[in-house]
Structure 1
Amino acid sequence: MRSRRIVSRALLYLVLIVGAVLTLFPYLMVVLTSLKTAPQLNSVSPWLPAVPGTLSNYIRLFNGKIADISFLAYLWHTVLFTVILTAGQLVFTTFAAYAFARLRFVGRDVLFWAYLATMMVPNVVTMIPLYLIMRQIGWIDTWFGLMAPYILGSPYGIFLMRQFFRGLPADLEDAARIDGAGTLTILLRIFVPLSRPALGTLTILTTVFAWHNFLWPLIITSGDNTKLVTVGIASLQGNLGADYNLMMAGSFVALVPLIVIFLLFQRTIVRSIVLTGMK
């Protein structure tokens, strides 16, 4: 029995190690490629480090310009986009989820499930209609057009918060109403403080989505004053070929903020994954 337990545990660790290697290998390739020169990229195996390594790609990335703007400007655009989008998602999603979970009005459930059904439609399908709408109202290549499809909430976020609100005891709300609290007071003073785990989950998911968003920013933006870092990295691929060393340096710089967030909020991220699975 003991030998079987040892063998099963050894197989389990072997599977976990193989999974970890497969997961981390693309990130390792990004780092190794960013530390190579163009000749080393073609002469050294992709999974081997260059000797000696070089930081020239990072120097070119921060000292040079992509089109007519610096890479730091793209990073700043992405930070601004992520912060505003996350704040908008938290505010509007919370209000909508509370209405669907606690307020009573005609057609509430039908409206909720109809809105939730939009999750079945791939985002790619709605890109062209969204672009045509933005063109009609003059929001092409503007911050309003960039944020409009996401800032007012998402079906998944509203579903997550609604399910969490529905799980809170109704006695808390009844007691608050007896004390004279209104709907807004109940939401802000009772439900929101109790919903920190769900709000943490939504914050993490929205931050990662906003930071990695590529297709819609690529379609809606054309000027350098509204481009995000993902589109900026793609701009390094020109008509004469791609500068893979520079692209990998930019990709690694774009990954650093998310790595820092993961290291600082490991427990919150794990808790959010557990909460997402339970809900």
Structure 2
Amino acid sequence: MKRVAVYAVLVVGAFVSVFPYLMVVFTSLKTAPELNSTAPWLPALPGTLDNFVSLFDGSIANVSFVAYLWHTVLLTVVLTVGQLVFTTFAAYAFARMRFPGRQLLFWAYVATLMVPNVVTMIPLYLIMRQIGWVDTWMGLVAPYVLGSPYGIFLMRQFFQTLPADLEDAARIDGAGTMSILLRVILPLSKPILGTLTILTIVFSWHNFLWPLIISSSDSTRVVTVGIASLQGNLGADYNLMMAGSFVALVPLIVVFLLFQRSIVRSVALTGLK
């Protein structure tokens, strides 16, 4: 009976978690009349793919959904590569290199995690406006491409768990700092690199507030802002918005299916570190 009760609670929890996604699918397959005539939690029979066709055939005014998807993919790739490169260098410096004020600088930087992003949005926008990066790709990626406090903290804590004897042995063999990092440290850091990659991909793909503030044209608009733009002054096309949301969810679902083990391992690493 105890096991039955546990599984019953798990089934209810799973249903509560999955139900919003089911509503996204159901709503995306409805026409506008069906949206108002059927309950939100019931599917339309038969469903229609007209909403998806409208997203991709360019029939919606001022919406270029294909371009939004491409911009999001490009943004995700750039931010992921930048985070991996710069976060790795910074974390290794904080973990292994000795220089005056290292601990003070590290904890001062990590302390910025306590500051909500919304607090820095306006000063950051003013800086971008002063240097002419508003509505540009440089302004879109600059706040995040050079690393993040959480990523540096995560990588630094992992580097400190690696035995220092490995580096000493490499130095005896004549390896320099860069060679040690690339040939010794990084091959041992695949789990934490996978964790950082997954976290960065999810953050970059779902990022909404900063792209909304810094972008004002289709040339830099990402998919999250594109979905929000489907809501006009006279109302919201919920069926189209849900179709766009479903399309935006598909890549992350594919990432989850392909990297289930890495995602579980990343949850374990971020929980224990």
| Common topology (TM > 0.5) | yes
Please, what TM-score do these two structures have when normalized by structure 2? Answer: 0.99
Q: CA deviation at 1:65?
A: 4.9
Task: Output aligned runs, 1:6-85, within 5 Å.
Answer: 7-65=1-59, 67-85=61-79
CA deviation string 1:166-202 (max 9, x = no partner) = 0000100000111111000000110011000000000
Q: CA deviation at 1:276?
A: 1.0
- Whether the aligned pair in 1 keeps the contact of 2:113 and 2:149 (CA below 8 Å) is yes
Change beyond 3 A, Cα 1:94–1:32: same
Match of residue 200 from structure 1: 194
Q: What is the distance in 1 between the residues matched to 2:225 and 2:143? A: 18
Q: Aligned pairs, how many? A: 273
Please, what TM-score do these two structures have when normalized by structure 1? Answer: 0.97
Task: Output aligned runs, 1:94-109, within 5 Å.
Answer: 94-109=88-103
- Whether the aligned pair in 1 keeps the contact of 2:80 and 2:201 (CA below 8 Å) is yes
**Which amino acid in the other structure matches residue 258 of structure 1?**
L
**109, 130, 134: which one aligns with 2:124:** 130
**Which amino acid in the other structure matches residue 95 of structure 2?**
A
Please list every run of at least 4 consecutive aligned residues from structure 1 whose deviation after the TM superposition is greater than 6 angstroms. none
User: Quick check: 1:269 aligned with 2:263?
Assistant: yes
Match of residue 146 from structure 1: 140
CA deviation string 1:94-128 (max 9, x = no partner) = 00000000000000000000000000000010000
Task: Tell me the secondary structure at the aligned position of residue 167 of structure 1.
Answer: coil
Gaps of 5+ in 1: 1-6
Q: What is the distance in 1 between the residues matched to 2:144 and 2:184? A: 27
Q: What is the distance in 1 between the residues matched to 2:78 and 2:2? A: 48
Q: What is the distance in 1 between the residues matched to 2:158 and 2:233? A: 50
Q: CA deviation at 1:203?
A: 0.1
Match of residue 243 from structure 2: 249
- Whether the aligned pair in 1 keeps the contact of 2:55 and 2:244 (CA below 8 Å) is yes
Higher mean displacement: 205-214 or 40-49: 40-49
Q: What is the distance in 1 between the residues matched to 2:175 and 2:154? A: 25
User: Quick check: 1:212 aligned with 2:206?
Assistant: yes
**Which amino acid in the other structure matches residue 233 of structure 1?**
I
**Which amino acid in the other structure matches residue 277 of structure 1?**
G
Q: What is the distance in 2 between the residues matched to 1:116 and 1:66? A: 44
